[in-house]
Chains A and B, each alone.
Chain A
Amino acid sequence: MVDRRVVEIWVGVFVLLGGLALAMLAFMVGNVRVTELFGAQEYQITAQFDNIGGLKVKAPVTLAGVRIGRVSSIYVDQQDFRAVVEMTISNSYNNLPTDTTAIILTSGVLGEQYIGIEPGGEETFLKNGDQIILTQSALVLENLIGQFLYSAGGDGDTDGISKLAGTLERLIERLFEEESKKGAK
């Protein structure tokens, strides 16, 4: 049997190592900031959108590309059937003007969607619980194509549509060619 003192030391080391490993997972792998543990200094604002596309809870909220908060919840306003997005913003950015614009953007071609904030010029600032009035919805590819087709064939003739279809076909062929070239490399 191992000496009692040695056992105690080893168990102490073991438990300490476990605590360190958990701390490492929490702080280095997970995204816990020390300030978040002691009651985060942040405030909530909302914004209404016609269409949020693929926006998800916890998506980043950015100002000039810098992350200043995150989406905390998404639901539908029962009165006017628009999407309401609640955002949690860090208190260090509590001077956003009231005429700030919220835009749903996409990072990269197929990336995640996030909210971009563009500050306006008002002297008064958004407070906890305020709503951003100026918003711009997500770009939905299907709607975009639909609008494009409509405007192309708007003047009654179907010529525009077939022209557009031809353009699309050529575009897709080009894309495939480039892909196969890349693959060959």
Chain B
Amino acid sequence: MMFGFFADLGRAVLDRVNRLGRASIFFVQVLAASWQLIPRFQLLLQQIYAVGVLTLLIILVAGLFVGMVLGFQGYTTLVRFGAEDSLGLLVALSLVRELGPVVTALLFAGRAGSALTAEIGLMKATEQLAGMEMMAVNPLMRVIAPRLIAGMIAMPILAALFSAIGVLGGHLVGVELLGVDSGSYWSQMRENVDIYDDIFNGVIKSLVFGVACAWIAVFEGYDAVPTSEGVSRATNRTVVYSSLSVLGLDFVLTSLMFGEA
């Protein structure tokens, strides 16, 4: 009775560590196979289209609305202190430092990550991956690597677009609707947003999130139990794990980047 509890706990921990180890080996194997993509550039383009271009619309709409809401909320708070001129700064810093990379990564996990897992899981369930191996085609190179690399490339671009359109959304509400001076909206932003501290660190964040989301998505697909139920569970796990790891990584990265200031 007593030992049963310890055994369950131990098994759970061992399973998870085991899975993490397999995921790490898988990641290294895929990266090692990915140089073979150079002569097969077309594969990568297909995946950038599937992962990046098709996610564009939801990112742009979300960015615009997040920017507009920041404009409203920021204005009602700042106007109390007579500091509504700093609205541009508030909107830009919130977006570039935090909301841009994080919300983009969460949407990316939901829109692109789940699709990747389902696609790869289904390929596995219908034994397409095994078929490739029979034909001496390495599925890691042919299927997994383009998707992983495409995710890494697409995430920073999507996050930059999210932040950029969010700033415009804040301008739309703050300047056009609520009457903040357009000059001070931009100049306050320009004075206080730093190219390295804020923008470059934001790009680094989105790159890290891109690696995490794409890695989790392809591994969950590749590791899925090859049944319809297994694929659905894997897809579920992709979204949950991606979101949690993005939020956790964000805390770590933020405290590393902005902690000492």
Instruction: List A residues at the B interface (Cβ < 8 Å).
Output: 2, 4, 7-8, 10-11, 13-15, 17-18, 20-22, 24-26, 28-32, 58
Contacts and interface: CB of A to CB of B under 8 A. Distances in A.
Interface residues of B, number: 30
Given A18-B156, A18-B160, A30-B190, A25 B53 contact: no
Given A7-B45, A18-B156, 10 more contacts: A7-B49, A8-B45, A10-B49, A15-B48, A24-B164, A25-B167, A29-B96, A29-B199, A30-B190, A30-B193
Interface in B1-59: 42, 45-46, 48-49, 52-53, 56
B49 A11 contact: yes
Contacts of A22: 160, 164, 203
Nearest to A2: B49
Nearest to B192: A31
Interface of B: 42, 45-46, 48-49, 52-53, 56, 92, 96, 154, 156-158, 160-161, 163-165, 167, 186, 189-191, 193-195, 198-199, 203
Question: Is chain A's interface secondary structure helix, strand, loop, or mixed overall?
Answer: helix
Contacts of A58: 194
Contacts of A24: 164, 167
A17 B45 CA distance: 16
A24 B167 CA distance: 10
16 contacts: A14-B48, A14-B53, A14-B157, A17-B56, A17-B157, A25-B96, A25-B164, A25-B167, A26-B199, A28-B167, A29-B92, A29-B163, A30-B190, A30-B195, A31-B194, A31-B195
Contacts of B160: 18, 21-22, 25
Nearest to A4: B42
A10 B53 contact: yes
